[in-house]
Amino acid sequence: MSAVIQQPFNDIRPMCEADLNEVIALEESVYPFPWTRGIFQDCLLVGYLSWVIQQDQKIIAYIVMSMGADEAHILTFVVDPEYQRQGHAKKLLDHALNLAKQHHIESIYLEVRPSNQRAIGIYQKAGFNEIGLRPDYYPTENGREDALVMGLSIFY
């Protein structure tokens, strides 16, 4: 799949291999069970849409989204806690949704922890709705936590 993609925000750019040390450090700072370097490398290798927000030479947010047929799946989405509540999550999510529209995606899905009310609120404001539950999806220190499955339909 090759397409010319315009960047609507000049601080958002594609993630590259050289970003992985910073991305992994951010990932490890926010998740007790973080993705590995290999997972991020595989996402880049297979061409998943992987974007970062860089501010003052520092990666402060990233998103990875897979696409196939007419569906997309947001696989991971992180904003550095020091930069939350400043509009970065909305900006990066809007960017991903615009990319999905450019690729004629009809539905976008994601999983989110029910305990992550801030993220749920961001997704709901973007138009996502709860469509299901994946029991015991996320590892925790004391077992497993369910995941809410959220979806967004894009109409053209």
Q: Which domains, and CATH codes, for the chain?
A: 12-153 (3.40.630.30)
pLDDT bin (cut points 50, 70, 90) of residue 63 is very high
Q: Of the listed 27, 111, 130, 156, which one is catalytic?
A: 111
Residue 53 near residue 61, CB atoms below 8 Å: yes
Instruction: Please give the single-letter amino acid code of residue 116.
Output: N
Element (H, E) at 41: helix 37-46
Q: Of the listed 62, 109, 123, 138, which one is catalytic?
A: 123
Instruction: State the pTM of this model.
Output: 0.90
Annotation says 48 is catalytic: no
26-53 pLDDT tens trace: 999 999 999 999 999 999 999 999 999 9
Annotation says 123 is catalytic: yes
